[in-house]
Amino acid sequence: MTVLASIRDLTVTYRRDGSEVAALKNIILDIQPGERLAIIGESGSGKSTLALAIAGLLPASARIEGSIDWFMRSPPTLGAKAPPSGRIEGGGKDRLSLNRHNQASLGGRDIGFVFQDPSASLDPVMAVGKQIAEVARTHLGLTWAQAYAKAKTLLERVRLPDPDSALHAFPHQLSGGQKQRVAIAAAIAAGPKLLIADEATSALDTIVQAEIVALIRRLVAEDGMTLLFISHDIALAAELAERIAVFRHGELVEFGKTEQIVEAPTQAYTRALLDAHIDLDAEPLLHRSRLNA
Ligand SMILES: Nc1ncnc2c1ncn2[C@@H]1O[C@H](COP(=O)(O)OP(=O)(O)OP(=O)(O)O)[C@@H](O)[C@H]1O
Ligand code: NI
């Protein structure tokens, strides 16, 4: 059996003002290498908590029980000395911090992270080329010249118009969609095996959203990355993912192939999510036209 990460009995409890919030309850989930997996559910269902747990980024105040086992070969990069597999256990002594370049690195097992708000992950006073180059320099051991060359290639790959001048642009000079393209470039700059997009398109209008989804799809295919796509939008998830995991109140209520989830959900809750979508948008879920990235 090939698995990238194996999540077993994962329970996450936040402590706040003396009370406890069970954000995830006994989650059992395997992530397969190279798959596009969507995590869906309404606000507060625990999606971001799962993403943070997977990336090892939960705040210290969170209590973590259960385990996440990794079966990841380190990417063939300079300085990657990680063992081929590893384990994060409840208690999280291995806990890491996310630097401002969206790279979570657990012993070389790099994970790229894209958030809803690109402004939160981009430095407002640093040119975007430098921000991307810094990721490449730090994580791949490149010189500045090599790192800038890589940054330019990445800006081309995320289809920013005029990559040469974009290198010198500051975030405020870019549109929301362009900023998200830069954030994605930074997230993949170190060649992560796993890309986590947490509501990465939710703040964008529908057309830009479709473009960013198409971009993520293309980059994931080109680099052979595994994708964890987090969204409250079942239609968007169905467009992109091969498998969908449905969360509700911190529990994994349904998990299966996209076709099965969309065409024959077993849970009333999934049905309700689908019906809510159909009320809003009559287009069939699985057959919406796909824009080119
Ligand atoms: N740092 C925190 N401290 C305390 N409680 C938290 C913290 N982060 C999240 N929670 C709580 O944990 C639960 C799950 O939150 P989480 O952010 O994982 O949900 P979500 O599905 O990502 O929601 P959304 O779609 O709104 O982003 C919620 O009840 C939330 O209020
Ligand atoms: Ni969230």
Cα of 230 vs centre of ligand 2, distance in Å, is: 8
pLDDT string in tens for the chain (293-residue length): 689 999 999 999 999 888 999 999 999 999 999 999 999 999 999 999 999 999 999 999 999 999 999 987 654 333 333 333 454 544 333 333 344 444 454 444 479 999 999 888 899 999 999 999 999 999 999 999 999 999 999 999 999 999 999 999 999 999 999 999 999 999 999 999 999 999 999 999 999 999 999 999 999 999 999 999 999 999 999 999 999 999 999 999 999 999 999 999 999 999 999 988 765 555 556 555 455 55
End-to-end CA distance of the chain: 33
Per the domain annotation, does 292 fall within a domain? no
ipTM above 0.90? yes
> Has residue 293 been placed in a domain?
no
Kindly state whether residue 106 falls inside one of the protein's structural domains: yes
Structural domain includes residue 258: yes
280 belongs to a structural domain = yes
> Is residue 57 assigned to a domain?
yes
Residue 211 belongs to domain spanning: 5-287
Would residue 229 count as lying in a domain?
Answer: yes
- Give the number of the ligand closest to the Cα of residue 19: 1
pTM of the model: 0.88
Q: Pocket around ligand 1: residues whose beta carbon is below 6 Å from it?
A: 14, 16, 21, 23, 41, 43-49, 59, 232
Report phi then psi at 249, rounded to 5.
Answer: 50, 40
Pocket test for ligand 1, best of 42, 43, 49 (most atoms within 8 A of CB): 49
- Count up the domains in the chain and report the number: 1
**CATH code, 83:** 3.40.50.300
Minimal-distance CA residue to ligand 1 atom 12:
23
The rounded Å distance from CA 15 to ligand 2 centre is: 17
Closest residue by Cα to atom 27, ligand 1, is 43
Q: Is residue 168 part of a domain?
A: yes
